[in-house]
Chains A and B, each alone.
Chain A
């Protein structure tokens, strides 16, 4: 009984372990329990189903009124057309390059800075932390124009430098996230290593990095999805079609008077897939990460 109440409290108990009041309408009860949640989940999932089904419809099926989710004929025609209209592979490659380098930068820089903020005893830790918080709160629009002018002055428009270099200098949000995580690591652990004569860099690499792995993976997964889905920065910095990421490359499906919905949805599906895969792999970190970042 005591076990049961803790299970209810933590929400860990499955319905089966609760006292069964009536046996007969078990299916119904379960359905009612799940019902609203299933409806809610379907509402969120439905648009994605429409995306995939539109992508797989034959051109004559795309424009059907009333709309239907099940195509009369499954075909990859829209994908073929998408590849004809825009260089999908190149845009995918460009996007992958930007996202990959951003993740690399984040993983290299953010834990370093977070370590300096939490585990190195020095006078700069506090003021620097305040700077991290302040930059987190500043609207990006304030720095948008001078940043554009800097990169433009350096001749770096139409390159990926403006999209990627900032990640190597540490993203305030991720520094904050990893710092919060490191604050919970006992100092004794690091002190022991230092007493053994390990250099600061060695202590960092062999003790801090492995411990902070969950936080670093969270940051990496978030950074991947942010860079993958970013729209504003590619819009500002990339003007040469060969450098486009998918975010801005999809425009090509908007014609003078109409939109090529079938191929567009096919391209959208291909654009969504990598983010989806990363999400499924990193799901645990993702969902843990957002609640940790918010509540701590």
Chain B
């Protein structure tokens, strides 16, 4: 039907008369678009497109900043496979993610639930919980080093109230990862506020219906809250995972011993992937090797994200749509 109408001669002729105007207008708006978008077009070419191509090329070279890149094929990637420190840093990073992501989700959702009760002063509480997220990470890192200090810190002091002798957080390899996660969890406020916004959208009737059916708070949470916020949870899990895979500043600051000194904690337990990449690039000046590591990180991130997305069909519910 539409094919027929389109072929009618009158239709074609009207299009042609209009057509003489349109291309010029289109061309005009095209250049207007280009003009307005020009900062990003320049930025995209200079800060993304070229660097991505260059980094891909460097990853196949031996390149130490002072000599021009020397093509070595897959050497960097092979070297990675045999590099114990590389595997150590990858394992450390994955442990942090496995430890940190579920805790972040649980605390953020639990906290949001608490904040969601109609209560006076809610904006104040919300602000206080979000506050650590705007504190410079470096400040947070140093501050927690002080709080985790075995002798003078508050954390172990509070633990002693319950008869617990706290560990030497930053000296024992087994405890450095919980310490890093603790520092990151302090900034969970942003995630919590996103959940809070999502909880406000949960229809109240659903809770009422569940209550009438005799569901207790825990059942109501499992059957109403959790499914309703599951799309938001998917978003948070992915964002949080990516953040953990790239984690740099917190472990760097917690492990740092002296100015311009490479520190990675006891038994290299705080050496994350991004830290090792940084060391290779800017301390050992192995720019080729570091570029190859960046690409592996990209691929690992992609795979992990795709796995989470694939699993989401089982646990994410998209409302009535």
Enumerate chain A interface residues (CB-CB to B < 8 A): 5, 7-15, 18, 33-34, 36-38, 40-41, 44-48, 50-51, 54, 62-67, 108-109, 112-113, 115-117, 120-125, 128, 131-132, 135, 138-150, 152, 166, 168-170, 172, 175, 200, 204, 225, 228-229, 231-232, 236, 246-248, 250-252, 254-256, 259, 261, 264-265, 268, 271-272, 275-276, 278-279, 283, 286-287, 290-291, 294-295
CA distance A113 to B36 in the complex (A): 6
Cβ of A140: which chain B residues have Cβ within 8 Å of it? 246
Question: Quick check: A276 and B40 within 8 Å, CB to CB?
Answer: no
Give the residue name and chain of the A residue nearest to B140 (CB). Answer: A47
Selected from B36, B131, B152, the residue in CB contact (under 8 A) with A63 is B152
CA distance A12 to B121 in the complex (A): 11
Question: Quick check: B128 and A45 within 8 Å, CB to CB?
Answer: yes
Give the residue name and chain of the A residue nearest to B33 (CB). Answer: A122
Selected from B44, B128, B259, B291, the residue in CB contact (under 8 A) with A254 is B259
CA distance A71 to B152 in the complex (A): 14
Chain B 11-54: CB-based contact to A (< 8 A → 1; otherwise 0): 00000000000000010011011111111111110111011101
Closest 5 CB pairs of A and B: A169-B43, A122-B33, A291-B197, A116-B36, A146-B51
CA distance A233 to B244 in the complex (A): 19
Cβ of B254: which chain A residues have Cβ within 8 Å of it? none
13 pairs across A/B with beta carbons < 8 Å?
A41-B129, A48-B143, A67-B153, A116-B33, A120-B33, A124-B30, A124-B34, A149-B287, A170-B40, A231-B252, A252-B259, A265-B143, A268-B142
Cβ of B41: which chain A residues have Cβ within 8 Å of it? 128
Question: Quick check: A144 and B137 within 8 Å, CB to CB?
Answer: no
Enumerate chain B interface residues (CB-CB to A < 8 A): 26, 29-30, 32-44, 46-48, 50-52, 54-55, 58, 65, 111, 114-122, 125-132, 134-140, 142-147, 151-154, 157, 160, 186, 189-190, 193-194, 196-198, 200, 204, 232, 235-236, 242, 245-246, 248-249, 252-253, 256-260, 274, 277-278, 281-282, 287, 290-291, 293-295, 297-298, 301
Give the residue name and chain of the B residue nearest to A239 (CB). Answer: B260
The dominant DSSP class at the A interface is: helix
Selected from B33, B46, B186, the residue in CB contact (under 8 A) with A47 is B186
The dominant DSSP class at the B interface is: helix
Question: Quick check: A291 and B51 within 8 Å, CB to CB?
Answer: no
Cβ of B151: which chain A residues have Cβ within 8 Å of it? 63, 65
**Given contacts A63-B152, A231-B137, A279-B134, are A295 and B39 in contact (CB under 8 A)?**
no
Cβ of A168: which chain B residues have Cβ within 8 Å of it? 39
Give the residue name and chain of the A residue nearest to B126 (CB). Answer: A287
Cβ of A117: which chain B residues have Cβ within 8 Å of it? 37
Other A-B pairs, 6, CB within 8 Å; known A123-B26, A295-B198: A33-B119, A67-B154, A113-B37, A145-B281, A268-B139, A287-B193
Cβ of A146: which chain B residues have Cβ within 8 Å of it? 50-52, 54-55, 58, 291
Selected from A37, A115, A125, A172, the residue in CB contact (under 8 A) with B115 is A37
Question: Quick check: B30 and A122 within 8 Å, CB to CB?
Answer: yes
Question: Quick check: A290 and B194 within 8 Å, CB to CB?
Answer: yes
Cβ of A15: which chain B residues have Cβ within 8 Å of it? 118-120
Question: Quick check: B282 and A12 within 8 Å, CB to CB?
Answer: no
Cβ of B145: which chain A residues have Cβ within 8 Å of it? 259
Cβ of B198: which chain A residues have Cβ within 8 Å of it? 295
Question: Quick check: A67 and B128 within 8 Å, CB to CB?
Answer: no
Question: Quick check: B111 and A295 within 8 Å, CB to CB?
Answer: no
Closest chain A CB from B120 CB (angstroms): 6
Question: Quick check: A254 and B246 within 8 Å, CB to CB?
Answer: no
CA distance A257 to B125 in the complex (A): 40
Cβ of B126: which chain A residues have Cβ within 8 Å of it? 287
Cβ of A7: which chain B residues have Cβ within 8 Å of it? 118
Give the residue name and chain of the A residue nearest to B190 (CB). Answer: A290
Closest chain A CB from B142 CB (angstroms): 6
Closest chain A CB from B253 CB (angstroms): 8
CA distance A118 to B129 in the complex (A): 34
Cβ of A170: which chain B residues have Cβ within 8 Å of it? 39-40, 43
Selected from B55, B128, B146, the residue in CB contact (under 8 A) with A142 is B55
Cβ of B32: which chain A residues have Cβ within 8 Å of it? 116, 120, 122, 200
CA distance A228 to B135 in the complex (A): 9
Question: Quick check: B135 and A272 within 8 Å, CB to CB?
Answer: yes
Give the residue name and chain of the B residue nearest to A234 (CB). Answer: B138
CA distance A170 to B44 in the complex (A): 9
Question: Quick check: B138 and A229 within 8 Å, CB to CB?
Answer: yes
Cβ of B29: which chain A residues have Cβ within 8 Å of it? 120-122
Question: Quick check: B58 and A145 within 8 Å, CB to CB?
Answer: yes
Question: Quick check: A295 and B197 within 8 Å, CB to CB?
Answer: yes
CA distance A295 to B195 in the complex (A): 9
Cβ of B196: which chain A residues have Cβ within 8 Å of it? 291
Give the residue name and chain of the B residue nearest to A275 (CB). Answer: B134
Question: Quick check: B130 and A109 within 8 Å, CB to CB?
Answer: no
Closest chain A CB from B199 CB (angstroms): 9
